A and B are shown apart, each in its own frame.
Chain A
């Protein structure tokens, strides 16, 4: 949908040329519910003659049926495209519209105002160069105005335009406008917002939208459209040093090996010396290949394929950098995170972190503070809930080549993906690295796990017992340990209740604390297995993600034993009287009652306590252990 007011016939080819040389401004509109965002966009489209006749007649019909403007054109219906939005008269998700004026091309994202849709607003904001923040002149700067401004500045949107809307409803009062302007500016200054422009408008009546308003002669600044057409924008990425994350390795035949990607910053020429990170291998640019022929030089934002003079190992996720100015590499960062998951973020739980073209496993930890987006106060927090923003430590399993977000958006941004639902549950910005990966080494020792196991004449193992409280984990684990001990094996039993008296006495039973509880025990079990022991871990360990974390940390020694007792049965037994207390509400977050238990899907061993007595179960586990030893001992 594109219409051109300025085309009046004549040389089409020349016209196309002029169109092609226009630059592109991507902007978002945000603001409180009912501030008139959709109306503002509709008005811009309508006034710029961007609407076709069939769309206008559909709009007329819709306005009569669903409109909120008493039968007059309701521009909001142009952008609120989902049935649910039209029914409820609100914006739920981002809508993207393209339009063109004689000076510029635009893509506008209309973003929702409700707090519950903040993640959708962030979706629109992450690709915007400019944000229009609407304020209802009758209501002034509101909580949502502050929240949206905060998110825009967080994401580094360089231009903010405040449209003080509905000026017609306050009698075009200059005092009202100036009061709002000064309120807003003093707030925005605190956030470090640099380019703020405040314009009094009426989107519904058309004041200061395209034409200067005769109703507000006291306003001497640009109209909204004039500002959008002239505000300086454009990526400054081309000025930085060369960086290109490798997206795809192209190997059509034996003779060609190219690295395809979009240049994140800077420029690259044939013959340039490059460094590949994190490996720090070096080479020289041989060719810059494109479908339209080789290039001598390529620039930021171009999608190209680069070949190198040397056969060095480069794969997807690596970053090609200017040899003289490589990026940093680290595995621990301070990051700002906006949480988008329906269930809260759990510190210590492994998530998939995708940054540029690399996906690695990582955890978010040690939340320094979360920001009350309405007051901008820093608040202490243990976890982040949906739409909350906090500063925390990002720790990765694998080193990452990166740049701080303020320097390079492509190499400083990441998304957080839940390993089980596969949803995008958060977005993050790297502030800085907490340590350089180069500085940490695993201390290699001469006496190692193999030599210790040899001395003990046994195969180290970690038997991880999981199941509901009262399922019989500790009873069975205790029996197994007695039997192994009788055979002369060196064992240790880590019991959930006992560990909570010492190592984990500082932890409670919230989801976040449960994750940390398991993380610590997994580390302890790993050290003990490294010492050569057969470790029995008897922990409820209710979450799949943490059991997977333990499995990954411990490796081949790990075996999951699911002590499977139904909730009804465990509650009937209730040896410790805990279920009764939980039912009365005396214990909060009790697994099975008020906190979930996620049963293992593929445990190494499943013990059905309805079918087997503890004695039989213990024998089955010993047999399992023997089989495992046979497999691993040559």
Chain B
């Protein structure tokens, strides 16, 4: 087959694809020969006359049907970007909860995702304030910088902040050192959250979790229902269609709502950059006193940190990709001192953000199991 015929055939194949046309129908319509394309594919070289006829046929039918518009009409010069789209979707979700639920609350964990979620809530109701309080379920072992931020931010925006600590945890002095990460997290976080929701009677709680964080999160609905014991039943989730959220619940049930479900880690950073959202300084690299433990860099954040024999704190330039209880959160070596550095570092990163979370690795499918127990 010569090059001319080859090019010609490629054009025809493309045309068939675009028009969803059968090869036989094409041959019939263009030349009255249903076998034409098949012969061509077998290597037949067409005559110049045939070639012209077929090209004329393709040109005519291309002109007859105008190609569909590839993009929507221009938006007065300003593009509606990927972030704009995510922002609008999250605002829609937050407003829907405020409209349909009786007593919503926004979980405020002080991290970057919480910061973004709070910013979206401020946008959703502007010029009014968000019609719900913030709730921090405290484990008493967060980084000190986090507590500073927690006390400052609600004041700045004039929002109500509720802080809840599981009294059993205080009484028994539950801590990550004596009780291990699993028990500490279970009592202070999971049980604490359940108690707080029951105590205040919240029927919906916003959380900043994203589907890109973890496999079982990827399966969770935006409106995620919990039974009266706060359990998630992953095998029996309500269908969730379009942006029509069904917020009706049975007695005793409550809802966890995830407005950032469709955001990725990069989206969050990009948005923090674009909107200039304040975040905890721990995300930026600085010389900090740390020790190495079980392959993780752990910050010696206060004098409660128990050093193991042979451990001496060393100063190291580190930062944190996620924030939790300081003895359970691994840092990374980094020189990233501003947002753009962080993003750059993330772009070349070879491990995921939850890699620094000691609690996720305690057992296989651990997040799903924790969520079934009532973890956010």
Name A residues whose Cβ lies closer than 8 Å to a Cβ of B. Answer: 1-4, 7, 9, 12-13, 15-16, 19-24, 52-55, 78-84, 86, 92-98, 100, 105, 107, 119-120, 122-123, 126-127, 182, 185, 189, 194-197, 218, 220-221, 232, 234-239, 247-248, 250-252, 256, 258, 260-262, 267, 289-292, 297, 299-303, 305, 316, 340, 352, 354-357, 409-410, 413-415, 417, 421-424, 427
In the bound complex, do residue A16 and residue B82 qualify as a contact, i.e. CB atoms below 8 Å apart?
no
B273 interfacial contact with A, CB 8 Å: yes
Contact in complex: A197, B17 (CB < 8 Å): yes
Q: Are B72 and A220 in contact (CB under 8 A)?
A: no
Annotate B228-248 by CB proximity to A: 1 below 8 A, 0 otherwise: 000000110111111110101
- In the complex, what residues of A have CB within 8 A of residue B352's CB? 1, 52, 54-55
Question: A409 to B241, alpha carbons, bound, how many Å?
Answer: 11
Main secondary structure of the interface of A (DSSP, over half): mixed
A303–B17 contact, CB under 8 A? Answer: no
Q: Which of B124-132, B144-152, B169-177 has 4 or more CB atoms under 8 Å from chain A?
A: B124-132
Is A250 in contact with B125, judged by CB distance below 8 angstroms? yes
Q: Please, could you name 17 A-B residue pairs with CB atoms under 8 Å apart, sorted by A?
A: A3-B347, A12-B344, A20-B83, A52-B350, A86-B365, A182-B22, A195-B20, A239-B73, A250-B125, A260-B95, A260-B124, A260-B125, A261-B95, A291-B123, A299-B80, A301-B88, A415-B241
A-B pairs with the 9 shortest C-beta distances? A81-B215, A252-B128, A232-B70, A303-B91, A291-B126, A291-B123, A422-B248, A52-B352, A303-B88
Task: Give chain B residues whose Cβ lies under 8 Å from the Cβ of A119.
Answer: 239
Bound complex: CA A24 to CA B84 (Å) = 11
B330 to chain A, nearest CB (A): 12
The stretch that binds A, out of B179-187, B257-265, B284-292, B305-313, is B257-265
Q: How far apart are the CA atoms of A371 and B218 in the complex, in Å?
A: 32
Q: Complex: how many Å from CA A422 to CA B349?
A: 44
**Quick check: A301 and B246 within 8 Å, CB to CB?**
no
Question: Which of chain A's residues has its CB closest to B343's CB?
Answer: A12
Partner of B99, one of A248, A292, A409: A248
B63 contacts the other chain (Cβ, under 8 Å)?
Answer: no
In the complex, A260→B85 CA distance in Å? 17
Interface: B69 (CB within 8 A): yes
Q: Please state if A16 and B270 are interface contacts (CB–CB under 8 Å).
A: yes
Extra inter-chain contacts (20) besides given A2-B267, A80-B215, A303-B91, CB under 8 Å = A7-B347, A20-B274, A24-B85, A81-B217, A82-B235, A82-B368, A83-B368, A95-B219, A96-B211, A96-B218, A98-B262, A105-B82, A123-B239, A195-B20, A232-B68, A248-B125, A250-B127, A301-B80, A302-B88, A355-B244
How far apart sit A97 and B126, CA to CA, in the bound complex (Å)?
Answer: 31
CA of A97 to CA of B262 in the docked complex: distance in angstroms? 8
Q: Is B216 an interface residue (CB 8 A)?
A: yes
- Is the CB–CB distance between A93 and B211 below 8 Å? no
Chain B interface size band reads 35 or more
Q: Is A21 a contact partner of B81 (Cβ separation < 8 A)?
A: yes
- Tell me whether B198 is interfacial, beta carbon within 8 Å: no
* B270 in contact with A120 (CB, 8 Å): no
**A235/B72 contact (C-beta < 8 A), A83-B368, A93-B219, A303-B95 known:** yes
| Shortest distance between the CB of A78 and any CB in chain B (Å) | 8
CB pair A340–B239 under 8 Å, yes or no, is yes
Chain A residue numbers with a CB within 8 Å of B69 are 232, 236
- Give chain A residues whose Cβ lies under 8 Å from the Cβ of B250: 421-422
Across the interface, A120 reaches (CB within 8 A) one of B84, B91, B239, B242, namely B239
Q: How far is the CA of A82 from the CA of B371 in the complex (A)?
A: 11
Chain A residues within an 8 Å CB radius of B72: 234-239, 300
CB of B99 within 8 A of CB of A357, answer yes
A-B contact count (CB 8 A): 236
Q: Which of B211, B243, B340 contacts A97 (CB 8 A)?
A: B211
Which of the listed residues A1, A82, A252 has the most CB atoms from chain B within 10 Å of its own CB?
A1
Measured CA separation A266–B301 after assembly (Å): 53
Give chain A residues whose Cβ lies under 8 Å from the Cβ of B122: 291
Q: Which residues of B contact A16 (CB under 8 A)?
A: 270, 273, 340, 343
B92 close to chain A: CB less than 8 A: yes
Q: Is B14 an interface residue (CB 8 A)?
A: yes
Contact status of A232 and B242, CB under 8 A, knowing A93-B219, A252-B128, A260-B95:
no
Residues of B within 8 A of A (CB): 10, 13-14, 17, 20, 22, 41, 68-73, 75-76, 79-85, 87-88, 91-92, 95-96, 98-99, 122-129, 211-219, 221, 234-235, 237-244, 246, 248-250, 261-262, 264-267, 270, 273-274, 340-341, 343-344, 347-352, 355, 365, 368-369
- Which of A95, A302, A422 is in CB contact (< 8 Å) with B249? A422
B351:A52 contact, CB within 8 angstroms = yes
How far is A195 from B75 in the complex, measured between Cα atoms in Å? 26
Q: Chain B nearest CB: distance from A227 CB in Å?
A: 10
Closest chain-A Cβ to B131's Cβ sits at a distance in Å of 9
B262 and A289: CB pair below 8 A? no
A92 nearest CB across to chain B (Å): 6
Residue with the greatest number of chain A CB neighbours at <10 A, chosen from B91, B98, B99, B218: B218
A86, A96, A234, A355: most-surrounded residue (chain B CB, <10 A): A96
A209 to B159, CA, bound (A): 50
Determine whether the beta carbon of B241 is less than 8 Å from that of A123. Answer: yes
Min CB distance, B7 to chain A, in Å?
11
In the complex, how many angstroms separate the beta carbon of A272 from the nearest chain B beta carbon? 14
CB distance from A404 to the nearest CB of B (A): 15
| CA gap between A95 and B69 in the complex, in Å | 31
Residue in B14, B84, B127 whose beta carbon sits within 8 Å of that of A302 in the complex: B84
Set A79, A235, A354, A410: member contacting B246, Cβ < 8 A: A354
A contact residues around B348 at 8 Å (CB): 7, 9
Across the interface, which residues of B come within 8 angstroms of A303, CB to CB? 87-88, 91-92, 95, 124
**Across the interface, do A251 and B128 meet the contact criterion of CB distance under 8 Å?**
yes
Complex Cα distance, B369 from A557, in Å, reads: 52
Contact, CB under 8 Å: B95 / A98: no
- Tell me the bound Cα distance from A54 to B215 in angstroms: 13
Q: Are A297 and B76 in contact (CB under 8 A)?
A: yes
Q: Which of A79, A189, A256 contacts B218 (CB 8 A)?
A: A79
Of all chain B residues, the one with the shortest Cβ separation from A26 is B262
The answer to whether A54 and B355 touch across the interface, beta carbons within 8 angstroms, is yes
Given contacts A92-B235, A221-B13, A410-B242, contact A54 B351 (CB under 8 A): yes
Question: A7 to chain B: which residues have CB within 8 Å?
Answer: 347-348
How far apart are B176's CB and chain A's nearest CB, in angstroms?
22
- Closest CB of chain A to B368's CB: distance in Å? 6
Instruction: Pick the contact of B265: A1, A189, A415, A422 (CB < 8 A).
Output: A1
- Nearest-neighbour CB distance to chain B for A402, whole angstroms, equals 13
What separation, in Å, do the CA atoms of A491 and B243 have in the docked complex? 51
Distance between A174 CB and nearest chain B CB, rounded to angstroms: 9
For A95, the chain B residues whose CB sits under 8 A away are 215, 218-219
Q: What's the Cα separation between A592 and B264 when bound, in Å?
A: 53
Residue in A9, A86, A234, A290 whose CB lies within 8 Å of B126? A290
Residues of A within 8 A of B13 (CB): 220-221
Residue of B10, B95, B214, B239 with most chain A CB atoms under a 10 A cut-off: B239
CB distance from B266 to the nearest CB of A (A): 4
Contact yes or no, B73 A413, CB < 8 A: no
Closest to B16 in A: A221
